[in-house]
Amino acid sequence: MGHLITVATCSLNQWALDFQGNLQRIIESIKKAKLAGSKLRVGPELEICGYGCLDHFLEDDTILHSWECLSEIIEHPDCQNILLDVGMPVKHKSVRYNCRIIIYNKKILLIRPKLSLANDGNYYEMRYFTPWKGVRVVEDHYLPRSITKIMGQKTAPIGDALISTLDSALGCETCEELFTPQAPHIAMGLDGCEIYTNSSGSHHELRKLHTRVELIVSATLKSGGIYLYANQQGCDGDRLYYDGCALIVVNGKVLAQGSQFSLNDVEVITATIDLEEVRSYREHKSRAMQTRDQPKYERIEVEMSLSSEVDEIDLLLHPSPARAVVYNTPEEEIAYGPACYLFDYLRRSKQAGFFLPLSGGIDSCATAVIVHSMTRLILRAIQLQENPQVLIDLHRICGESEGSTWEPKSPQEIANRIFCTAYMGMEKNSSPETRKRAADLAAIIGANHLDFDIDPVFDAQVKLLTSTTGFEPKFKMYGGTKVSNLALQNIQARLRMVNAYTLAQLLPQINGRREGAPGSLLVLGSANVDEQIRGYYTKYDCSSADINPIGGISKTDLKSFIHWASQKDNFGIGLLQQFLDAPPTAELEPLTEDYVQGMTYNELSVYGRMRKIDKLGVYGMWEKLLHVWGDKLSPQQIYEKVRFFSWNYAINRHKMTTVTPAYHMEAYGVDDNRFDMRPFLYPSFEWAYRKIERSIKQMGAAAWIRDRDVDKQPQTSEPNALLLSAILDTQQDEAETTIPVAPREVAPRPASVAARIDRRSKQNYTKECFKLNFGLSGD
C-alpha cells in the first residue's frame, strides 16, 4: 500500500437557509475534489444550512431540511468513493448540537458535535447550541426515518471519536476549538491521529488572518500532522463577510492556500502529502513519553484507504511543496472584502444597483472607491471565466433580456449600468471644491452622477416651521442659538436622506431600465466606525441607508486605503489625493475657517479599542491613558479628554440603535445588533469622574513638573507628572509640541520650575507616590 495521499478542503459561498443553493455548492465542491484525485473532502461549518441562520437554528425546520439535503448528498452518484466531512445542526435527545457528519459510501460513520462554542464578539453559538458532553464521550444517535429508509442504518455514533482508515487516522476540530487553550488536536495527535479537519465559519476582520494562520501552523508544528482548514466565503445574509482562505498545512508548513476574497461560489484546494513525513516528524522521545499515559479515543473503522491500494510507485504523483503564506495588506483588505460583500448583497437582494450620496469628502469617496473595486472584480471574473454565474448575475442586475450576449469591457461600463451618485448641496453652505471633487470622481469610476441643490426644500421646511411656531431659526453666525444652529443642520442632513431614497427608487426607471425588469437601487451609507463611536452624525441623515460598507472601518485606515487606491500600481486614481488634502467638513452651516469636533480620529481609535477590546470603563481608560499619553499630557488633561469622550458617547449612544447595518471589519466596532450591546439611555459617569478627581488630588499638591510643556492654568495641581516621568523614563525636549487638548490649550511651563528638581528627588517622590496610590514599593 502506498503512503502518498491527496486531500481536499474548500471555501463555499453559502447563504443562510438557501438549502437548494447550498446543496448545489457542496456537491460541486465534492466533484472538484474527486476530479483532483482526492479521497477526502472537508467543508465549512454548518455548510448545509449556512452558518448565519441565527435564531432560525432554533426552528426544527432548519434541522429537518438539513437532513433532507444530507440524504441527497448521501445518494448522489458523484458523492461516492470519497470520505466526506459535512456540517449541519443535529438534535440529539432534544438538545441541539453544531455537528460534523462523516460519511463514506452511503454510511454515516460519525456525528461529531462541537466541544467548545464560539460566544464572543459576533458569535452567539450558545444561544442556539449546547457544547458536547465531554472529550472522548460517544453515544448512539437514532437517525431520522428518512435517512434509515435510504441507507438501512438506524443509528450512528455521536461524540468525540476518531476515524480509522486502512492507512491513517482522522479527527475533527471545529472552528473555535482551535482557539482554545486545550485544543483537541493535541490529545488526538498523541493518540495517533494524523489528519485534523477544521470546519469553520470565521468572518473577516482587519488584520485577523495572521492570527488564524499562526494557530493552524502551530497546531502541527509541535507534534506534526496534516491540518485541513475549510471556511465559508462571502455574505450569507448578515453583516459579516466570511473570508475563506482554506488551508492545508503539514508539520507546520503551508502546502496550499485558498483566496481570502473572491467572487467564486466554490473554491477547492488540494495537496498531495507523504504520510511518512508526518510519522518521521513525530519521532521525538518527549512526544513518545507523553503518549504513554494518553487516554484513548474510540476508533470508528472504515474499510477504505486514502492512499493508493497498490504498491507500485506512481511517478505522476508528487508531494506538494511548501509555499509562503499570502497576506493582504490592510488597504487591500478594505479594497476587496467590502467589494465582494457588496456584490453578494446586490445579487442576492435582486436589486438593480447602488445609489450613493457623494459629498466630496473622504468617507463617501471611500465608499465610491469600494464600489469601483467591486466593478473591477466583476470584470476580472468575467474575463477569466472563473465563475459563469457572475455574468449571469450581472445580466439580471442590469435588466438585460434573456439570451443577452452583452459583456462589459471596462469597470466604468459596469458602473454606468449599476451605480448612481448625487451631490446634494446647499448654495450657501457647500463649497465649489467639494462639488467638483464629487463630479470628477464619479466621472473617473463611471457612475451616473447628479448635481443639485436642496435649498428650495430646505427653505420650504424652515418657512413651514416659522409659520407654524412663529419662531425663525437662524445659523449661529447670523445670531442664532446653538439649538437653532443644530436644528438647521439636521434639516439639511435629513432632507438628503429623503432625496436619496426617492432617487434610488426612481432612477432605474428614469434611466430607461427595461420594462418588467424588477429592482430599485440600494442606498449606501458612509459613516466610519470612529464617527459612530463619537456620535458625530445626524440620526436619519445620509448615515441611514440599506448597507454601509465602511461602517466598521476607522478613519485612519480609510485614509490609508484612499492613498493606496491613488497609486498607479493599484487603482491609479490620482484624483484621490485631493480628497486626502482637503479639510474635513460636513458643510451643514455657512463655511468658516475652523471646523473641529473636539477630538482627533487617532484619539477616537484609541478610545474605541480601550472601550471594546480592552474592556475598560471610564476610570480604567483614564488610568491606562496615564501611561500612554502621560509624556505629553497631565492627568488632569487626560481626564478632561476621557470625560469629553464619555459624555459624547453617552448622549449619542441612542443613534446606534437605528444605524445602518455595516460590514463588520474592526475589532472595536459599535454595531448595536449583537456585536456591541449596551444601554442607549445612560446616566452620567459621576462615580467614575469623582474617583478620577480623588486620584488626581491624592497624587499630591506639587506642580506638574516635567522637562517639557505643561498646563499653566490654575485649575488643579498635578504633581503626578513626577510619578509618570519616572515610570515611563522619558526625556522630552523643551521644544516638543503637545497634542491639542480639548477644551483648553496647553501653555509652556517656565524653565525655572524644572531647574529646582533634580533626578534624585524625582526618584524619591516616585516611590512615595507608588506607596500612597498602589501599595507598592516603586523600586
What does each C-alpha distance from 284 to 185, 192, 423, 460 come to in angstroms? 18, 14, 68, 82
Is 131:117 a contact under the CB 8 Å cutoff?
A: yes
Is 500:540 a contact under the CB 8 Å cutoff?
A: no
Sign of CA dihedral 672, 673, 678, 683: positive
Q: What are phi and psi of 272, to 5 degrees?
A: -105, 130
Give the separation between CA 73 and CA 63, rounded to whole angstroms.
15
For residue 202, the 8-state DSSP code is P
| Sequence-distant (≥ 6) Cβ neighbours of residue 348 within 8 angstroms | 15, 235, 237
The DSSP H or E segment spanning 35 is: helix 19-35
Taking residue 27's Cβ as centre, other Cβ atoms within 10 Å add up to 17
Q: Three-state DSSP class for 674?
A: coil
Is 653:678 a contact under the CB 8 Å cutoff?
A: yes
**Catalytically active residues, by annotation:** 45, 114, 175, 359
Tell me if the bond preceding 44 is cis, omega within 30° of 0. Answer: no
Nearest Cα neighbor of 401 from 297, 323, 508, 517 is 517
Is 5:307 a contact under the CB 8 Å cutoff?
A: yes
Q: Nine-digit cell at 349?
A: 437582494
HEC string for 486-508: HHHHHHHHHHHHHHHHHHHHHHH
Give the separation between CA 206 and CA 310, rounded to whole angstroms.
47
Nearest Cα neighbor of 226 from 408, 405, 361, 38 is 38
Q: Is 589 exposed, middle or buried (0-12, 13-18, 19+ CB in 10 A)?
A: buried
Nearest Cα neighbor of 562 from 436, 392, 717, 441 is 441
Give the separation between CA 714 and CA 706, rounded to whole angstroms.
17
Nearest Cα neighbor of 300 from 150, 167, 113, 102 is 102
Q: Three-state DSSP class for 138?
A: strand
Nearest Cα neighbor of 543 from 679, 378, 357, 386 is 357
Give the separation between CA 266 and CA 15, rounded to whole angstroms.
12
Is 305:196 a contact under the CB 8 Å cutoff?
A: no
Q: What are phi and psi of 652, to 5 degrees?
A: -110, 0
